[in-house]
Amino acid sequence: MKWNRIFLATVLIAVVAAPAFAHNWGCWTQPDRTVYVRNTATYSSQAQAAINEWSNDTIINVNNVSYHTEVSVYDGNYGSTGWGGLASIESASGCNITHCHSRLNYYYSYTSNGKRGVQCQEFGHCLGLDHSNDGGCMGGGYYYDINSYYTVVSHNINDISNKYYNKHGNGSEEPEGAPLVHATWYNNPVTLAETADLATSIVVAKVGGIYDAADIVMPIPGTEDEFDRIPNQRVAFEGVRTIQGGRLGDFELFHTGNESFILAGDPPYEVGETYVLFLMPREDGSYLVVSPEGRIRVGDRGLEPMSEREFALRLRDLPIEALELDLAERRGMQGAVIGSK
């Protein structure tokens, strides 16, 4: 079948080929170009280096303060969540962000530059930017490894200039239900093969139930009540069949967020939906999707990837059998190589 070579051979596009248009996170923006920031991170030097870049290299002027203000920058060990960083809009007036949280999850083993890169990206989100494939921190965890691409680059500088000189969307209302949270994902597979390699199991499963779980709670000085609270859900899946790995049967999926805390690219599940899931286990016996690339809905017209990455988009509207055949052919090729040794 032709699609096998298309998907398994997809490679990462060079970052120099990135498109040159602005990458805005909806209409979100800070009220003006002077932004007040409180940095209480454990890895404060890495966080401050990231903050300083946005202040020194763009038209944004950052004032560091010691009280609760427009942007809170911090970190913590949030555990096995799949994300290494989160930016969340906590309050807004129209399209003006009145308070934003920029956080690093140091459960994951980022280098010093990687920690700086995560905070660089999350702070960029708090300024109203989306991800961009330009070789800077705003693409880390999506297009390339953030440990190696952790700085502000010229594309980001231009995006900020365009957004704040023109005050894009200022005063209008953000559409209801729009994602208020952006993540830096720890895993960043750039092919279907890499996504499969990260997974201990690949299954077809149906959502049987969704349950709110206890918030992840982290003591953070300078936040509203001195604690950061991340809502999460447990999604009960009924196993339909296993494509790769040991048979799971029914299982429980850990999912960050809920109906009011919506991650861009990883929205809430709905009962009755069927998915192809690329899974890895968590310490508590539940499972985690390896990244947004590992979550593919099976719709009436065919596959519906959650990821906007090019190789994932090529799956859109194809029958599930195409994906299963790809994965089966790859396992066969791997077995042939192993058997020849």
pLDDT at 94: 87
Q: Which one of 137, 159, 185 terminates a domain?
A: 185
pLDDT at 172: 55
Domain contains 133: yes
Q: What's the pLDDT band for 247 if we cut at 50, 70, 90?
A: confident
Kindly state whether residues 155 and 46 are assigned to the same domain. Answer: yes
Kindly state whether residues 149 and 172 are assigned to the same domain. Answer: yes
What phi and psi values does residue 220 have, to the nearest 5 degrees? -135, 110
Domain contains 328: yes
Domain contains 5: no
Kindly state whether residues 51 and 158 are assigned to the same domain. Answer: yes
Question: Rounded mean pLDDT of 164-179?
Answer: 63
Domain contains 3: no
Alpha carbon distance 120, 65 (integer Å): 18
Domain contains 316: yes
Using only C-alpha atoms, what is the Rg of the chain? 20
Kindly state whether residues 82 and 152 are assigned to the same domain. Answer: yes
Q: Is the pLDDT of residue 19 over 50?
A: no
Three-state DSSP at 265 gives coil
Question: Rounded mean pLDDT of 208-214?
Answer: 96
How many helices and strands in the chain, by DSSP H and E?
7, 13
CA distances to 65, 74, 91, 122, 125 from 71, rounded to whole Å, are 10, 10, 11, 11, 11
pLDDT at 272: 98
| Mean pLDDT over the full length of the chain | 88
Question: CA 244 from chain center: how many Å?
Answer: 24
Alpha carbon distance 274, 253 (integer Å): 13
Alpha carbon distance 222, 66 (integer Å): 8
pLDDT at 328: 85
Q: In what order do the strands lie in the sheet with 61-64?
A: 61-64, 34-39, 71-76, 96-105, 83-93, 181-185
| Residue 315, CA atoms < 13 Å, CB-side half-sphere | 30
Dig out the tokens for 10 from the structure. Answer: 């997809």
pLDDT tens by residue, 282-318: 999 999 999 999 999 999 999 999 998 889 999 999 9
Query: 85-114 burial string, b = 16+ CB within 10 Å, else e?
Result: bbbbbeebebbbbebbbbbbbbebebeebb
Domain contains 82: yes
Higher pLDDT, 19 or 42: 42
Burial class (CB in 10 A: 0-12, 13-18, 19+), 158: middle
Alpha carbon distance 317, 114 (integer Å): 36
User: Residue 298: which CATH number?
Assistant: 2.40.50.120
Question: Rounded mean pLDDT of 235-241?
Answer: 94
Kindly state whether residues 178 and 252 are assigned to the same domain. Answer: no
Kindly state whether residues 208 and 318 are assigned to the same domain. Answer: yes
Instruction: Determine the structural domain holding residue 302 and report its residue range.
Output: 192-339
Q: Which one of 122, 157, 185 terminates a domain?
A: 185
Kindly state whether residues 84 and 231 are assigned to the same domain. Answer: no
Kindly state whether residues 212 and 310 are assigned to the same domain. Answer: yes
Q: Which one of 123, 153, 185 terminates a domain?
A: 185
User: Residue 164: which CATH number?
Assistant: 3.40.390.10
Q: What's the pLDDT band for 8 if we cut at 50, 70, 90?
A: very low
Higher pLDDT, 339 or 174: 174
Kindly state whether residues 229 and 159 are assigned to the same domain. Answer: no
Q: Is the pLDDT of residue 337 over 70?
A: no
Alpha carbon distance 167, 175 (integer Å): 18
pLDDT tens by residue, 80-135: 999 999 999 999 988 899 999 999 999 999 999 999 999 999 999 999 999 999 99
Kindly state whether residues 299 and 199 are assigned to the same domain. Answer: yes
Domain contains 12: no
Domain contains 16: no
Number of domains in the chain: 2
Nearest to 51 by CA among 130, 137, 146: 137
Dig out the tokens for 86 from the structure. Answer: 């989160």
Kindly state whether residues 99 and 199 are assigned to the same domain. Answer: no
Kindly state whether residues 156 and 215 are assigned to the same domain. Answer: no
Q: What's the pLDDT band for 2 if we cut at 50, 70, 90?
A: very low
